[in-house]
Amino acid sequence: MHPAHLFAPYSLRNVTIANRVVVSPMCQYSAVDGFTNDWHFLHLGTRAVGGAGLVLTEATAVSPEGRISPQDLGIWSDDHIAGLRRIVSVIHEHGAAAGIQLAHAGRKSSMAPPWRELAVLSEAEGGWSNILAPSAIPFSEHYGTPIALEQADIQRIKQDFRRATERAFKAGFDLIELHAAHGYLFHQFLSSSSNKRTDEYGGSFENRIRFLLETIEVIREVWPTHLPLIVRLSATDWLEFSGETLHDACGWTMDETVRLTHILRTLGIDLVDVSSGGNQAKATIPVGPGYQTAFADRLRRECSIPTAAVGMITTPEQADHIIRSGQADLVLLARELLRNPYWPLEAAAALRHEIAWPVQYARAASGRKPERHPYQGRTDA
């Protein structure tokens, strides 16, 4: 058995990841009608070349109205499969596992890309009017007022996730992550500050988690049992820490995340990717290096489930310490991998670990192994 450190392999079900460095999902706002293009191919492929063990796509919408912006990736059509398969192929070719994050933005949809002024887009600007959420409560004054979902809409969206899962398998992905964090649709159901429903999908804790649990069950019906299914959660809305209250509720809390994670484990969820915030515009978040790692640590200990830590993890020593100290099983890097796609190669050298380099980069490898074998993790048996 390999000792736990940043560059030890890690297995989830039948998928073995070469090391513990994961490319966090990062929206690129570069798609047209949900289709991948050369930018996505280069962006994701380069991070595999750079030595990451697992590369996750950006939030990939299961329906057109589930996009954050008109420029998001999509998987609502069979026509999207070929482009995604091309990306999976290049990720595998350079030794990494490939994962897809399936998402629905809910009330945070139909927005302009971040380099433009924060604003909801009209239909004339490429947006859409059917912004959907558990309740008709906008995220902030800059966002559209959503339409409260009818029961039939909820059932339809569950089937959207089911069909997206089938397409993800056809595209060759090794792993699916469900995005239930950052104020998107699942998180909107979970939080009492955004979910004011009076039916079986609102009110009590058991009702607010129902939509996520039912969707997981639908996905597991078509996602092979030998492949991992993970969930990204916002551990807290941060209202409980800042003393803020909104709509007479403190929103989603860490204690509720612990309760939910115990249930997710019984449903066969293999790992929880632990983030925080995103559902309340007025929340005060104490951002700093590794500020969310304690949440991953608590879930790992109290729920006996593998976790991934994310949030301002920037140095090799910091990332390695998170793994060695047992705070999490994987670390996800986002902005640091935008700044330096070859961070894993440099981190391995700094930590004195052997890591396979692409043969084309052998002269830069300083005597390290100049060979990268294709990914061998997924089997369809």
Q: Which residues have a catalytic role annotated? A: 184
Question: CB–CB of 199/290 below 8 Å?
Answer: no
CA 370 to chain CA centroid, Å, is: 31
CB 82 within 8 A of CB 172: no
Give the span between the Cα atoms of 254 and 259, in whole angstroms: 9
Nearest C-alpha neighbor of 226 from the set 166, 179, 270: 270
The rounded distance, in Å, linking the Cα atoms of 6 and 309 is 12
Q: Quick one: 129 exposed, middle or buried, by C-beta within 10 A (0-12, 13-18, 19+)?
A: exposed
C-alpha distances out from residue 114 to 66, 201, 234, Å: 17, 32, 21
Nearest to 99 by CA among 342, 356, 358, 332: 332
Cα 127 from chain centre: 23
Helix intervals (H) in 252-366: 254-266, 293-303, 316-324, 335-339, 343-350
